[in-house]
């Protein structure tokens, strides 16, 4: 039995989970939030619903990692840090350089840093955290698990944009997608849940959360996905616009007298259901007032509309659909949104039991009615488990 850490790092947050492998037992999960502020929020859940909290200052990435190591020891989650033999890092952009999870050596780390233009808010931070962990836990195998890797099986007809081909050859301008680690877990687990061979299943995974994506998975491989060169593309999201006419972007930049950075800020952080509703990015807030607030109702309808359009389009891409899998914060917990989307897909044969759907939250569940020709499954994601599995497979023998 060995202990492996799964790490999901951001510029102001550090999330982690500790697993005992190969038993796949989750021993603890933690969060370091508000880095660089007067008081950081440090939280660890472990044992039998035990919770540890602290709020001392955490100035930088080194101190954030040190606080994790201190918590692991002080809470007796490890007797010695050498028990941690592997660390898996979620990395957003792997470009075409990484088609699978990779042990991070100096060359791989340089490649991750070189892909910073593909995910400027993520890759540089993730690369820095990898360096910190390598310094503090030098004996552990460090593995980068890429959000984009699962989508590298897409065909050119699905990942290329209709722009001069030389831009792809020279600059890597193409669709890369995101949420690949989640989709990889959900697609495999859904096939297992249905008792189907993944190589004989046409599945659409709806990863619906703050960031939302929809992916067509055929024969266990990603064939198309809604997010594009960046996670801004695709369906309407909490604060992201999703697909938009670039000529409209140019038009608005002139009208608003803003540069591209400011426009991207609007499209990433002020749009989506927040922008439509002018009220909240949280669908729970919108549902609470939808009966009396037309914009809140409209925002939810647009979200469901865009999701259903992508699902229907993927029926064409795959030559049919056998099953739908809902996952992510919204997908797992909003029975109302699941219902709104499925109501638009009845013509494909998707039907769910309203009572079963309303009673199902965050658990594996078949929501389909007996006469449905497309199965609809509620399937909680577990990206961290996928990460530690990848690390375990790559440990020195």
Residue 7, C-beta contacts closer than 8 angstroms, at least 6 positions apart: 14, 15, 16, 87, 88, 89, 90, 129, 133
Sheet holding 41-46, edge to edge: 50-54, 41-46, 25-33, 13-21, 2-9, 84-91, 141-146, 102-103
Q: Which of 55, 105, 117, 147 is catalytic?
A: 147
Residue 322, C-beta contacts closer than 8 angstroms, at least 6 positions apart: 196, 201, 202, 203, 374, 375
Instruction: Dihedral sign for Cα 322, 364, 358, 26, please.
Output: negative
Q: What SS3 state is found at 94? A: coil
Cα–Cα distance measured from residue 86 to residue 140, given in angstroms and rounded to the nearest whole number: 5
Cα–Cα distance measured from residue 192 to residue 254, given in angstroms and rounded to the nearest whole number: 52
Cα–Cα distance measured from residue 60 to residue 112, given in angstroms and rounded to the nearest whole number: 21
Active-site annotation holds for 55:
no
Pairing of strands 141-146, 84-91: parallel
CB-count exposure of residue 215 (10 Å: 0-12, 13-18, 19+): buried
The dihedrals phi and psi of 378, each to the nearest 5 degrees, come to -90, 115
Q: CB pairs under 8 A, 24+ apart, for 191-195?
A: 191/220, 193/364, 193/366, 193/377, 193/379, 194/323, 194/375, 194/377
- Please identify which residue in the block is written with the tokens 């259901």: 273
Cα–Cα distance measured from residue 237 to residue 243, given in angstroms and rounded to the nearest whole number: 10
Q: List the catalytic residues.
A: 147
């Amino acid at each position: 039995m060995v202990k492996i850490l799964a790490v999901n790092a951001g510029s102001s947050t550090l999330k982690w989970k500790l697993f005992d492998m190969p038993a796949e037992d989750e021993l603890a999960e933690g969060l370091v939030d508000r880095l660089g502020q007067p008081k950081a929020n440090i939280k660890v859940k472990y044992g039998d619903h035990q919770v540890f909290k602290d709020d001392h200052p955490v100035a930088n990435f080194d101190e954030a990692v040190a606080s994790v190591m201190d918590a692991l020891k002080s809470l007796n989650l490890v007797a010695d840090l050498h028990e941690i033999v592997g660390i898996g890092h979620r990395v957003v952009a792997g470009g075409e350089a990484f088609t699978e999870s990779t042990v991070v050596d100096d060359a791989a780390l340089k490649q991750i840093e070189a892909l910073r233009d593909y995910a400027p808010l993520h890759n540089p931070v993730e690369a820095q955290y990898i360096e910190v962990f390598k310094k503090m836990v030098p004996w552990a195998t460090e593995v980068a698990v890429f959000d984009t890797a699962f989508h590298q099986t897409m065909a050119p007809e699905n990942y290329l944009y209709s722009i001069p081909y030389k831009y792809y050859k020279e600059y890597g301008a193409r669709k890369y997608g995101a949420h690949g680690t989640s989709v990889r877990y959900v697609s495999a687990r859904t096939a297992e849940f249905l008792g189907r061979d993944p190589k004989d299943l046409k599945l659409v995974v709806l990863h619906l959360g703050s960031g939302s994506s929809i992916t067509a998975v055929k024969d266990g491989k990603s064939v198309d996905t809604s997010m594009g060169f960046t996670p801004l593309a695709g369906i309407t999201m909490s604060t992201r616009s999703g697909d938009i006419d670039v000529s409209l972007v140019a038009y608005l930049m002139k009208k608003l007298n803003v540069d591209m950075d400011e426009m991207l800020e609007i499209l990433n952080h002020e749009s989506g259901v927040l922008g439509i509703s002018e009220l909240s990015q949280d669908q729970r807030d919108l549902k609470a007032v939808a009966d009396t607030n037309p914009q809140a109702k409209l925002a939810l309808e647009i979200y469901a509309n865009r999701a259903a359009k992508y699902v229907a389009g993927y029926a064409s891409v795959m030559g049919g659909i056998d099953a739908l899998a809902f996952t992510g914060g919204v997908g797992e917990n909003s029975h109302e949104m699941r219902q709104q989307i499925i109501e638009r897909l009845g013509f494909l044969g998707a039907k769910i039991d309203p009572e079963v759907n309303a009673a199902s939250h965050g658990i594996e569940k078949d929501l389909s009615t007996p006469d449905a020709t497309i199965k609809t499954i509620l399937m909680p994601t577990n990206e961290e488990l996928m990460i530690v599995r990848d690390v375990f497979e790559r440990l020195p023998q």
